[in-house]
Structure 1
């Protein structure tokens, strides 16, 4: 029987859960059934709020000052972040933080909450587990994958095996990870002694590949990958480099992006039922930094919120100063973009030309049959 993606014949009693399709099926403006988000602080929407000893938190002012509620939410931003804008474009609510759902809901309620997607992203997370040590407590990518497997099991219980498989296969998996691994390499002489830059980024890509294959084993078929931006140009890096970009860090970011693209091409040849969109954050941010006035920005070096040189000696804490006009800054704090910069990135990449999104943009990926 073919109905909406979540209409299934229940194994017990062979009754049709038609109401599920009415309640949880794709609405007219919804491109995919759900979005599952894995990554770091660029897309964290509050998971780290539930990590008691984490140093990577944004649940205090001045974060969230331009969010609709005017309150901090755990986003490392003055307002909405990349995950929010992607969800808006897809016609979905922002995927809620997984740790909030499992902390606040009964198991049955959590199953329903998972239907339009979940965010597992955690500030400080990396592809390698060790990158979280700097922040005392984060959810590394490997653990985020494990959390997804728990969600998948819940969906199977809620929708049946066939229904869950169809639902997940049509959904998008948004992956934003790798910056903290590069920062770890940049700041560790031990890592640089153990691995050349090429060896390190190749290891990043191969480790990510293992995680992606595990996700594929649990019905993930459509992926959005956000490449690394020129992270050497963020205020924390400029502050250590006489206001200039750290070109070593930028070089390693480009090297990782190249390794990531090669890995994805190889993965597609192994698993021909996957599809993906790669969003070139490096190209977009470089365009902003090189020609900010064309996009309404006037400040590309300093953080909006912080203290010290370039507002980058101290992060965005309640004692920090913040700029009166967040719209004209590319960076909100030491590492993260403002809401305005995040919005512009998704605007350019969602319906992107091959310059910014390939082999297809996100809208085209959403339309791929799975």
Structure 2
């Protein structure tokens, strides 16, 4: 009888604990999510700036739920939106949005700004954009704001447990080194040395991000720089990708991944996750039909060869079915292409996500 009573008590306690864990899980807030980088991940910060690097006019946003432009360089959702959906969370608001206050602050924030690069002299033609050092200043300011709301220790925990995405580097080639013939940077460095310089500067940015509290950081490489419609129109020949920019991406991305793995070894933790978005892109760029696209050369919105010249505007050519196009405009993937990229981020093998994919990260973090 005593055994039964003891067993019954243990069983009831176990059920209570299990039920308690289930309730806690159900009530737990999803991870906060912070985004840094350029137009591939900008969700509208540049709407608040006097710059030409904006996506706040139609037909941008034509497939977004509101059917209105939001500042995303997409026909619909961008990569941060789609990752947020995987986190079970709403998308973090642009840091400059006046709506980012109260409970919205605890979701995270998007600090990205179209046109920026690793280097401060990248995108100078856009004038008023939020360069990386300034994005970090905003992040520090964000943490002070959150600390006043939930306390310093909880704010630190929120940041340490958050997911961070950083996407930067492509503009350092297309809007710097190759922006004009005989650019200042191309006169200063041969391409291999320029790539080494970029990697060394990027390493400093990532270590600063670690110092600011980032502990789970997805770092994307460049996309297929030479195969975007803009470069096909301006530098490609006979429908082929630009060899110079493909060489640049081919040098940059492997060195970026090696640098991230070195940082992890030095930190003795898998802080930085290399997302090989170039390989993800190249899958549907090289074989678009296999992924349901009719073309990976012509942008849905634009003008000129491959719809690759100038901006996407209300006067541009506009395709009727965006899901058939790998590229939305001259530089940016369509929403459907973004979904394929995020599928790779979530479940890609080690050749796509090194040392692990996002699904593995989320599963591990449940138990830590």
Same fold? TM cut 0.5: yes
Contact 1:222–1:275 under 8 Å retained in 2? yes
Are 1:154 and 2:150 matched, yes or no? no
Q: CA deviation at 1:308?
A: 1.5
Q: CA deviation at 1:171?
A: 0.6
Are 1:248 and 2:244 matched, yes or no? yes
Structure 1: gaps spanning 5 or more residues: 1-24
- Structure 1, 344-353 or 78-87: larger mean CA deviation: 344-353
Are 1:115 and 2:106 matched, yes or no? yes
Contact 1:31–1:367 under 8 Å retained in 2? no
Distance (Å, rounded) in 2 between the aligned partners of 1:26 and 1:249? 49
Q: CA deviation at 1:29?
A: 9.2
**Residues 160-188 of structure 1: CA deviation (Å, up to 9, x unaligned):** 22212222111111011111001111224
Equivalent position of 2:327 in the other structure: 331
Equivalent position of 2:31 in the other structure: 33
Q: CA deviation at 1:285?
A: 1.1
Contact 1:276–1:365 under 8 Å retained in 2? no
Q: After the TM superposition, which residues 102-181 of structure 1 pair with which residues of structure 2 at under 5 Å, given as runs? A: 104=98, 110=101, 112-181=103-172
Equivalent position of 1:195 in the other structure: 189
**Residues 222-253 of structure 1: CA deviation (Å, up to 9, x unaligned):** 10111111111000000012332011101111
SS of 1:267's partner is helix
Distance (Å, rounded) in 1 between the aligned partners of 2:363 and 2:197? 32
Distance (Å, rounded) in 2 between the aligned partners of 1:70 and 1:286? 29
Distance (Å, rounded) in 1 between the aligned partners of 2:291 and 2:190? 37
Equivalent position of 1:362 in the other structure: 358
Equivalent position of 2:11 in the other structure: none
Contact 2:261–2:272 under 8 Å retained in 1? no
Contact 2:299–2:330 under 8 Å retained in 1? yes
Contact 2:260–2:273 under 8 Å retained in 1? no
Match among 191, 203, 208 for residue 209 of structure 1: 203
Distance (Å, rounded) in 1 between the aligned partners of 2:242 and 2:165? 28
Question: In 2 relative to 1, CA 151–130 (structure 1 residues): closer, same or farther, beyond 3 Å?
Answer: same
SS of 1:36's partner is strand
Equivalent position of 2:178 in the other structure: 186
Which protein has greater RCO, CA pairs closer than 8 Å, 6+ apart?
1
**Residues 185-209 of structure 1: CA deviation (Å, up to 9, x unaligned):** 1224221121122221222122122
Equivalent position of 2:76 in the other structure: 79
Are 1:49 and 2:82 matched, yes or no? no
Match among 268, 282, 286 for residue 286 of structure 1: 282
Question: In 2 relative to 1, CA 85–267 (structure 1 residues): closer, same or farther, beyond 3 Å?
Answer: same
Equivalent position of 2:231 in the other structure: 237
Distance (Å, rounded) in 2 between the aligned partners of 1:232 and 1:110? 40
SS of 1:150's partner is helix
Q: After the TM superposition, which residues 2-13 of structure 1 pair with which residues of structure 2 at under 5 Å, given as runs? A: none
Distance (Å, rounded) in 2 between the aligned partners of 1:152 and 1:119? 13
Question: In 2 relative to 1, CA 297–30 (structure 1 residues): closer, same or farther, beyond 3 Å?
Answer: farther
Contact 1:29–1:91 under 8 Å retained in 2? no
SS of 1:38's partner is strand
Contact 1:306–1:312 under 8 Å retained in 2? yes
Normalising by structure 1, report the TM-score.
Answer: 0.87
Question: In 2 relative to 1, CA 313–147 (structure 1 residues): closer, same or farther, beyond 3 Å?
Answer: same
Structure 2: gaps spanning 5 or more residues: 1-22
Match among 232, 252, 258 for residue 262 of structure 1: 258
Distance (Å, rounded) in 2 between the aligned partners of 1:282 and 1:51? 30
SS of 2:297's partner is strand
Contact 2:173–2:248 under 8 Å retained in 1? yes
Equivalent position of 1:310 in the other structure: 306
